[in-house]
Amino acid sequence: MAKTHSIFLLAVLMGAFFAGGPAGAVDAVRDTQELAALTVRRPHIVIHPRRFQPGPNSKRICGFWLAQEYRVSGPVIVPQQHCRWR
């Protein structure tokens, strides 16, 4: 992901520099930084368990792995997860 952003930034800088000079490059950097700031934010999700109420300092611990499942088209690798409260 970071490599994609750096390649995009380099392309924008080169285009702005050759099209509008150094002032255009500064504007392109500012626009690129604003765009990156908008795309970096992650959504905040609150999960409430049904059966038991964890304490205020409880954390949800999740494990993720890839598993092979058999489908009609053949075996495929799918992501799976298991979570628990601590």
Output the six-digit token pair for 44. 């905040």
Q: What is the pLDDT of residue 36?
A: 66
Tell me the mean pLDDT in the region 56-71. Answer: 91
Q: What is the pLDDT of residue 57?
A: 86
Tell me the mean pLDDT in the region 21-47. Answer: 65
Is a pLDDT exceeding 80 seen at residue 66? yes
Q: What is the pLDDT of residue 29?
A: 64
Tell me the average pLDDT of the chain.
74
Return the exposure string of 7-45: e unless at least 16 CB atoms fall within 10 Å of the residue's CB, then b.
eebeebbeebeeeeeeebbeebeeebeeeeeeeeeeeee
Backbone φ, ψ for residue 74 (5° rounding): 125, 175
How far apart CA 5 and CA 8 sit, in angstroms, is: 5
